[in-house]
């Protein structure tokens, strides 16, 4: 008699497909755990999926149910905490769960093949090898002789160091192993624990001590803001906190940094101070093999500290004890496509769920964070002064451009300052603030600015259509030719002539070595590092850039920072533009010059008395933040309101218009609390052939927005036009 096979169970599988539902499969007799990776047939293809639930029944008729092809039962499954965090984010950011889950994994785990991480080895001489003599090796075995000599000298050599000795080291090393001279140990690649003694920590100053003590006195979840200018010793506080939190247990820490080029420096400092705590880095510049390896070291609990960028906020950490978010104000924590999460906000949720403390560090906290520190939601820890008085803060001054004639955007005073630096063989940085640039209409005579009559936003000039448009509420009117306030007939959009700036500089200073730093010139992987190196090597006289140079660098010979075209940030329709400008200027002013060569920051503006500059001159973040918060409160902008954006684009504008108009009607029906504005066309109305527009939703609480989106988004997915255009939802958008 043939025994009947046991009935197969049903698996709910999340797949990397843009459909917000799970898929049922038969388990195929595999003993699969929740969180495990499986390969399933999907349409005509095979897909990798993650099991998110098991059940005995399915709504799919059994004749239609297919079985999984295989399950990677030897791999540790994704743990419930990480899974729950991703599920929360998929809900909050309105993104399909399957795509959110799979995108969080290293690339190798998104393939349908089993993910074996290649083992890595370290080599050392055996007793036989140690007792031997190099002359026993034949002269023609040159590489073997080199390897032998290197092993004698260094004791242990990691395989990653061996290509330096010879590109074909593998064969030679194998020969040495076969003759019994060399032994290999498997090592955990990527782990940077070392055997060297820890660099002893400096005694903390009064502010640092107070900060550390307060952090230690709390238990469970607690959010802190560590506020202090560059060089005030925040990193030192992180390191001593890590030491105290992790020294006598097996806990883990997550340290988020905004940019890849920040990780090596921070890593190096951590490693020399905390050599006994195995550390891995996780960022997109790692090779796939290394990324997988590091991720698994974190998942298995072997790595004690994970230093990573945005995406690493989703790394499984079974024994998470604390979270650090450095430079928490940095916009690169926000993912600008697929799931548009904000890693700082996700880190906060994660700490809360794990009941562990989190510290956000910054010299210029985001206004959201500052607000939370003011209302007492976060504990505020302040470092007042620089930890070491190696450099004084630079002098910050404004050049009033109301009174001078500009030469392609440059004032005589700034040109003179640049000339002096060239003469003294010092370096200058000219910063053009053109990010997210939208021209506004400004009267140079009386400082009137075209503003929206329906909301408090500035109107944006759309020259081609000869219209002024509100990017907040959608209001639109004709461009006025004459200032309604003083009658000045010479109204101009701000921001003229900056394109020619670099050429002008080249003409004014033909001998100067000028380097552009912007998205284009830094696109190549190593480009920014190369530029930084050239600055340090004094191979550049003038940097011209739309982006500030990397944080974490001191530029002792860079003594002048010139800032042009700031007015477009002061009165930008993007209400965060001024906040960004302030942070950038504080940042760079903390980096330029040193004690014997003090730095100077010169800002060209038609508004030298603006409170942003008044605060900046005094290096006074608090004054600035408080004035900004008042403005935000009056205008009902974040953090006093919560926003979500529905973006749509198609090759015909009529599609976009119809879709957004329907969405608008729906949204207004679905929520009486959330204010949904009329559709708006962004400054770049057409991008890569696509006509674009968006809809802004504004609520008093996250909950109001979430409740609306939860109903709205499924209805939009079912909309007849939904598949005919591209649309996305951006919750808590940073840029419009
Ligand atoms: P931040 O992270 O705020 O920019 P860092 O922690 O990097 O500041 O500190 C700036 C510099 O001051 C570093 O060179 C650091 O080694 C040094 N430093 C920080 N705290 C102390 C201290 N208590 N005693 C001596 N030096 C310190
Ligand atoms: Zn005027
Ligand atoms: Zn408006």
Of residues 574 and 456, more confidence is placed in 574
* Boundary residue ending a domain (360, 383, 406): 383
Beta-carbon contacts of residue 575 (< 8 Å; ≥ 6 apart): 457, 632, 635, 637
Asked if residue 606 has a cis previous peptide bond (ω within 30° of 0), the answer is no
Please check whether residues 216 and 88 belong to one and the same domain. Answer: no
Does 299 fall in a domain?
A: yes
- Which ligand 1 atom lies nearest to the CA of residue 237? 6
Question: What is residue 720's DSSP assignment?
Answer: T
Does 463 fall in a domain?
A: no
Please check whether residues 165 and 276 belong to one and the same domain. Answer: no
Structure tokens at 438: 């939208």
Please check whether residues 378 and 400 belong to one and the same domain. Answer: no
Please check whether residues 127 and 253 belong to one and the same domain. Answer: no
Judge contact between 46 and 39, C-beta under 8 A.
yes
Q: Report DSSP letters for 264-331, one per residue.
A: HHHHHHHHHH-TTS-EEEE-TTS-HHHHHHHHHHHHTT--SEEEE-GGGGG---TTEEEEEETTTT-G
User: What separation in Å is there between the alpha carbon of 386 and the centre of ligand 1?
Assistant: 8
* Boundary residue ending a domain (92, 110, 128): 110
pLDDT of residue 613: 92
Give the model confidence (pLDDT) of 19-77 as tens digits: 889 999 999 999 999 999 999 999 999 999 999 999 988 888 988 999 999 999 888 89
85 pLDDT higher than 80: yes
Q: Report DSSP letters for 429-479, one per residue.
A: EEEE--TT---BEE-TTT--B-B-SSSSPBEEEETTTTEEEETTT--EEEP
Q: Choose the residue to mutate in 384, 388, 556, 619 for probing ligand 1, maximizing ligand atoms within 8 Å of C-beta.
A: 388
pLDDT of residue 188: 57
Structure tokens at 622: 């608090």
| Residue whose entry in the numeric block shows the structure tokens 């979430």 | 706
Please check whether residues 248 and 303 belong to one and the same domain. Answer: yes
446 in a known ligand binding site = yes
Please check whether residues 667 and 718 belong to one and the same domain. Answer: yes
pLDDT of residue 495: 55
Please check whether residues 276 and 371 belong to one and the same domain. Answer: yes
Beta-carbon contacts of residue 637 (< 8 Å; ≥ 6 apart): 575, 631
Give the model confidence (pLDDT) of 439-462 as tens digits: 788 887 888 888 888 877 888 888
472 pLDDT higher than 90: no
Determine which of 182-196, 325-339, 513-527 has the lowest per-residue pLDDT on average. 182-196
Please check whether residues 179 and 234 belong to one and the same domain. Answer: no
pLDDT of residue 159: 75
443 in a known ligand binding site = yes
Q: Domain count of the chain?
A: 5
Could you give the CA distance from residue 517 to residue 432 in angstroms, rounded to a whole number?
A: 10
pLDDT of residue 158: 73
Which alpha helices (DSSP H) does 104-156 contain, by range?
127-131, 142-154
| Ligand with the closest atom to the CA of 483 | 2
Could you give the CA distance from residue 59 to residue 42 in angstroms, rounded to a whole number?
A: 18
Determine which of 276-280, 390-394, 471-475, 584-588 has the lowest per-residue pLDDT on average. 390-394
Q: What is the mean pLDDT of the chain?
A: 88
Please check whether residues 88 and 157 belong to one and the same domain. Answer: no
Give the model confidence (pLDDT) of 268-320 as tens digits: 888 889 888 888 999 888 888 889 988 998 998 889 999 999 999 999 999 99
| Residue whose entry in the numeric block shows the structure tokens 């092993």 | 151
pLDDT of residue 101: 96
Please check whether residues 105 and 124 belong to one and the same domain. Answer: no
pLDDT of residue 154: 75
| Ligand with the closest atom to the CA of 459 | 3
| Ligand with the closest atom to the CA of 208 | 1
Q: Choose the residue to mutate in 206, 209, 231 for probing ligand 1, maximizing ligand atoms within 8 Å of C-beta.
A: 231
User: What separation in Å is there between the alpha carbon of 489 and the centre of ligand 2?
Assistant: 8
| Ligand with the closest atom to the CA of 635 | 3
Structure tokens at 150: 């290197």
81 pLDDT higher than 60: yes
Structure tokens at 702: 């996250």
User: What separation in Å is there between the alpha carbon of 682 and the centre of ligand 2?
Assistant: 26
pLDDT of residue 458: 84
Structure tokens at 434: 């053109």
Does 128 fall in a domain?
A: yes
Give the model confidence (pLDDT) of 97-138 as tens digits: 999 999 999 999 999 888 776 666 778 899 999 999 999 999
Please list the helix, strand and coil fractions of the chain in percent, rounded to the nearest 5, in that order: 35, 25, 45
Which residue owns the Cα nearest ligand 1 atom 25? 202
Give the model confidence (pLDDT) of 191-247 as tens digits: 544 445 677 899 999 999 999 999 999 999 999 999 998 889 999 999 999 999 998
Highest mean pLDDT among 109-118, 546-555, 710-719: 710-719
pLDDT of residue 496: 47
Of residues 496 and 480, more confidence is placed in 480
Could you give the CA distance from residue 429 to residue 514 in angstroms, rounded to a whole number?
A: 10
The kind and range of the H/E element at 552 are: none
Does 555 fall in a domain?
A: yes
- Which ligand 1 atom lies nearest to the CA of residue 236? 6
Classify the phi-psi angles of 230: left when phi > 0, otherwise alpha if psi is within -120 to 50, otherwise beta: beta
Q: Choose the residue to mutate in 203, 209, 235 for probing ligand 1, maximizing ligand atoms within 8 Å of C-beta.
A: 235
What are the φ and ψ backbone dihedral angles of 686, each rounded to 5 degrees?
-130, 130
The kind and range of the H/E element at 389 are: none
Which residue owns the Cα nearest ligand 1 atom 24? 202
- Which ligand 1 atom lies nearest to the CA of residue 239? 6
Pocket of ligand 1 (CB under 6 A): 202-205, 208, 228, 230-236, 387-388
470 in a known ligand binding site = yes
Does 183 fall in a domain?
A: yes
ipTM over 0.90? The verdict is yes
Please check whether residues 105 and 126 belong to one and the same domain. Answer: no
547 pLDDT higher than 70: no
Judge contact between 382 and 208, C-beta under 8 A.
no
Beta-carbon contacts of residue 463 (< 8 Å; ≥ 6 apart): 439, 479, 493
Burial class (CB in 10 A: 0-12, 13-18, 19+), 646: buried
Could you give the CA distance from residue 733 to residue 736 in angstroms, rounded to a whole number?
A: 7
User: What separation in Å is there between the alpha carbon of 482 and the centre of ligand 2?
Assistant: 8
The domain of 130 spans 119-188
Question: What is residue 342's DSSP assignment?
Answer: B
727 pLDDT higher than 60: yes
Give the model confidence (pLDDT) of 413-422 as tens digits: 999 999 999 9
Domain CATH number, residue 405: 3.40.50.300
């Amino acid at each position: 008699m043939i025994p009947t096979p046991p009935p197969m169970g049903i698996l709910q599988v999340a797949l990397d497909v843009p459909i917000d539902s799970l898929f049922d499969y038969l388990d195929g007799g595999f003993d699969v755990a929740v969180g495990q990776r499986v390969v399933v047939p999907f349409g005509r293809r095979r897909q990798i999926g993650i099991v998110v639930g098991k059940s005995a029944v399915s709504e799919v008729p059994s004749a239609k149910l297919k079985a999984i092809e295989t399950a990677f039962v030897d791999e540790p499954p994704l743990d419930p905490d990480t899974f729950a965090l991703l599920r929360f984010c998929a809900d909050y950011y309105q993104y399909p769960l399957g795509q959110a889950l799979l995108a969080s994994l290293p690339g190798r785990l998104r393939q349908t093949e089993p993910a074996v991480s290649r083992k890595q080895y370290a080599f050392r001489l055996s007793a036989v090898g140690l007792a031997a003599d190099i002359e026993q090796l034949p002269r023609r075995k040159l590489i073997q002789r080199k390897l032998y000599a290197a092993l004698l000298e260094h004791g242990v050599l990691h395989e990653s160091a061996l290509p330096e000795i010879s590109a074909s080291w593998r064969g030679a090393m194998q020969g040495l192993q076969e003759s019994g001279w060399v032994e290999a140990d498997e090592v955990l690649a990527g782990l940077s624990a070392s055997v060297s003694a820890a660099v002893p920590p400096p005694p903390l100053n009064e502010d640092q001590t107070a900060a550390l003590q307060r952090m230690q006195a709390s238990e469970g979840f607690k959010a802190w803001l560590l506020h202090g200018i560059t060089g005030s010793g925040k990193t030192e506080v992180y390191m001593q906190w890590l030491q105290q939190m992790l020294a006598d247990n097996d806990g883990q820490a997550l340290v988020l940094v905004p940019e890849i080029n920040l990780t090596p420096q921070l890593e190096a400092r951590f490693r020399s101070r905390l050599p006994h705590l195995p550390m891995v880095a996780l960022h997109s510049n790692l090779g796939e093999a290394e990324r997988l390896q590091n991720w698994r070291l974190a998942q298995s609990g072997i790595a004690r500290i994970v230093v990573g960028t945005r995406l690493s906020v989703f790394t499984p950490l079974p024994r998470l004890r604390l979270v650090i978010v450095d430079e928490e104000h940095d916009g690169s924590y926000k993912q600008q496509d697929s799931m548009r999460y904000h890693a700082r906000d996700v880190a906060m949720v994660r700490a809360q769920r794990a009941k562990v403390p989190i510290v956000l560090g910054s010299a210029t906290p985001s206004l959201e964070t500052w607000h939370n520190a003011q209302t007492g939601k976060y504990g505020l820890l302040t470092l007042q002064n620089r930890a070491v008085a190696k450099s004084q803060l630079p002098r910050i001054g404004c050049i009033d451009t109301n009174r001078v004639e500009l030469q392609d955007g440059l004032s005589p005073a700034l040109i003179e300052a640049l000339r002096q630096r060239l003469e003294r063989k010092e370096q200058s940085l000219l910063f053009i603030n053109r990010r997210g640039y939208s021209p506004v209409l400004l009267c140079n005579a009386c400082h009137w600015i075209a503003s929206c009559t329906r909301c408090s936003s500035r109107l944006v000039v759309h020259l081609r259509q000869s219209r002024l448009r509100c990017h907040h509420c959608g209001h639109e009117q004709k461009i006025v030719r004459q200032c309604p306030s003083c009658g000045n007939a010479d109204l101009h959009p701000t921001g003229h002539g900056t394109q020619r700036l670099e050429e002008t500089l080249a003409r004014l200073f033909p001998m100067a070595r000028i380097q552009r730093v912007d998205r284009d010139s830094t696109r190549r992987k190593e480009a920014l590092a190369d530029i930084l190196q050239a600055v340090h090597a004094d191979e550049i006289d003038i940097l011209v850039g739309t982006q500030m140079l990397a944080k974490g660098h001191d530029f002792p010979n860079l003594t002048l920072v010139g800032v042009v075209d700031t007015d477009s940030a002061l009165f930008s329709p993007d209400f965060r533009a001024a906040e960004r400008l302030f942070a950038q200027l504080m940042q760079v002013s903390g980096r330029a010059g040193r004690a014997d060569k003090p730095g100077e920051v010169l800002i060209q503006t038609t508004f030298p008395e603006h409170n942003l500059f008044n605060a900046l001159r005094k290096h006074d973040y608090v004054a600035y933040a408080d004035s900004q918060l008042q403005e935000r409160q009056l205008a009902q902008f974040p953090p006093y309101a919560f926003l979500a954006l529905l973006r749509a684009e198609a090759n015909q504008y009529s599609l976009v218009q119809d879709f957004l108009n329907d969405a608008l009607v729906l949204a207004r029906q679905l929520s009486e609390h959330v204010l949904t504005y009329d559709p708006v066309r962004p400054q770049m109305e057409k991008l890569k052939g696509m006509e674009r527009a968006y809809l802004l939703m504004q609520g008093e609480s996250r909950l109001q927005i979430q409740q609306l989106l939860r109903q709205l988004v499924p209805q939009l997915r079912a909309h007849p036009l939904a598949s005919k255009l591209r649309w996305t939802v951006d919750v808590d958008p940073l840029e419009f």
